[in-house]
């Protein structure tokens, strides 16, 4: 290594000083669009559940997923750092209610019951109903006369039950349903579109195709899918104003469509319609 002279040391010090001042200037150049407080000043604290592709923490401890990327973009636009806390889905809402997190990620539905105890942001996207079949079915009418499986708890279950009767089989989770579909014990499956996209990306569905169900009056969820949101504290009024404004802007400038497509979705879930609550 060559010897560093005093002159060289002064030059290096000057360069370092310039770099430091440039960094400070860059930080000062970030001007928040709104004035509001967070649990930790200058930081957006997020309770991150594991629900791919919507929400997860990667191996480096970074918040990822559709919700995660939208939350990170909000933080960027409001000059906030992000603090991601990996939590179990059963504990995530409590993290917000107890003041340990500003928001939580994980495809949280805008429901009337949830809105009684916490605020819900403007809609991020809809949780679209997907039809899984080797034939590439897209229409609800394609389900008639076939053995159909779906997962308990979704908005479309009651309507499909009324339509299909004994031809509909309910499953406790997606994995069991996908196994029966692959083995031929059911002809068609109905599940979340995003769940199917992830399964297909992993090669878990073989030659099964996943499509967003076309609108059908008999199944309300095909026309008014549940809207996902960021839950936050009822008392965080100014925070909510900023969050909703950012989400509105991200819909308008195409950011949310871009994020959806980056996870393999077709982007149509960004067409949320007016805010509504699941009763």
Instruction: Please indicate, yes or no, whether residues 134 and 190 belong to a single structural domain of this protein.
Output: yes
Tell me: cis bond preceding 53? Omega within 30 of 0 counts.
yes
Residue 276 lies in a domain: no
Asked if 231 and 26 touch (Cβ cutoff 8 Å), the reply is no
Distance CA 131, CA 17 (A): 59
Residue 55 makes CB contacts below 8 A (sequence gap 6+) with: 48, 49, 63, 64, 65, 66, 67, 68, 105, 106, 107
Please report, for the domain that includes residue 121, its CATH number.
3.40.190.10
Cα 109 from Cα 225, distance rounded (Å) = 10
Count of Cβ atoms closer than 10 Å to residue 262 Cβ? 12
C-alpha 30/C-alpha 26 separation (Å) is 7
181 within some domain: yes
230 and 113 within one domain:
yes
pLDDT at 28: 57
Give the model's pLDDT for residue 215: 96
Q: Given this model, what pLDDT does residue 39 score?
A: 97
With a cut of 70, which residues of the chain have pLDDT below it? 1-28
Whether 201 and 183 map to the same domain: the answer is yes
> Distance between CA atoms of 159 and 58, rounded to whole angstroms?
37
**105 and 147 within one domain:** no
For residues 112 and 142, membership in a common domain is answered with: no
Report the pLDDT value the prediction gives residue 51, as an integer from 0 to 100: 92
User: What is the tens place of the pLDDT at every residue in 220-277?
Assistant: 999 999 999 999 999 999 999 999 999 999 999 999 999 999 999 999 999 999 999 9
- At residue 29, the 3 state secondary structure works out as helix
Do the beta carbons of residue 94 and residue 105 sit within 8 Å? Answer: no
pTM of structure = 0.84
Q: What is the pLDDT of residue 2?
A: 34
> β-pairing, 56-57 with 227-229?
unpaired
Give me the pLDDT at residue 265, please: 94
Tokens at 29, concatenated: 């150049």
What is the structure's pLDDT at 156? 96
Nearest to 265 by CA among 108, 66, 48: 66
Q: Distance between CA atoms of 119 and 93, rounded to whole angstroms?
A: 11
Q: Is residue 248 domain-resident?
A: yes
Query: Is there a single domain that holds both residue 79 and residue 213?
Result: no
Is there a domain that residue 164 lies in? yes
SS3 for 99? coil
Tokens of 273: 């319609």
The helix (run of H) or strand (run of E) holding residue 56 is: strand 56-57
Q: What's the total number of domains in the chain?
A: 2
What does DSSP assign to residue 52? T
Residue 16's pLDDT is 39
Report how far residue 210's alpha carbon sits from residue 206's, in angstroms, rounded to the nearest whole number.
Answer: 11
Asked if the structure places residue 27 within a domain, the reply is no
188 in any annotated domain: yes
- Same domain for 166 and 206? yes
Name the residue range of residue 183's domain. 129-222
């Amino acid at each position: 290594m060559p010897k560093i002279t005093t002159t060289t040391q002064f030059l290096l010090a000057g360069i370092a000083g310039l770099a430091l001042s440039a960094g400070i200037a860059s930080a000062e150049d970030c001007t928040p669009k709104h004035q509001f407080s967070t649990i930790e000043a200058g930081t957006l604290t997020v309770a991150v559940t594991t629900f791919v592709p919507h929400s997860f923490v990667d191996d480096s401890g970074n918040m990822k997923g559709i919700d995660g990327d939208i939350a990170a973009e909000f933080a960027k636009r409001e000059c906030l750092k992000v603090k991601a806390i990996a939590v179990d889905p059963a504990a995530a809402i409590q993290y917000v209610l107890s003041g340990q997190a500003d928001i939580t990620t994980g495809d949280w539905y805008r429901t009337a019951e949830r809105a009684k105890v916490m605020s819900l942001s403007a809609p991020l996207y809809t949780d679209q109903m997907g039809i899984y079949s080797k034939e590439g079915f897209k229409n609800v009418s394609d389900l008639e006369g076939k053995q159909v499986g779906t997962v308990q708890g979704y908005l479309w279950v009651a309507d499909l039950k009324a339509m299909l009767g004994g031809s509909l089989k309910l499953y406790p989770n997606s994995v069991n349903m996908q196994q029966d579909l692959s083995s031929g014990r059911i002809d068609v499956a109905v599940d979340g579109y995003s769940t199917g996209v992830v399964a297909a990306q992993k090669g878990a569905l073989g030659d099964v195709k996943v499509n967003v169900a076309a609108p059908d009056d008999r199944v309300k969820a095909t026309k008014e899918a549940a809207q996902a949101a960021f839950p936050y504290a009822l008392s965080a009024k100014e925070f909510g104003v900023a969050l909703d404004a950012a989400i509105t802007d991200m819909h308008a400038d195409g950011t949310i469509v871009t994020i959806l497509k980056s996870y393999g979705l077709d982007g149509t879930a960004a067409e949320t319609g007016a805010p509504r609550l699941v009763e």
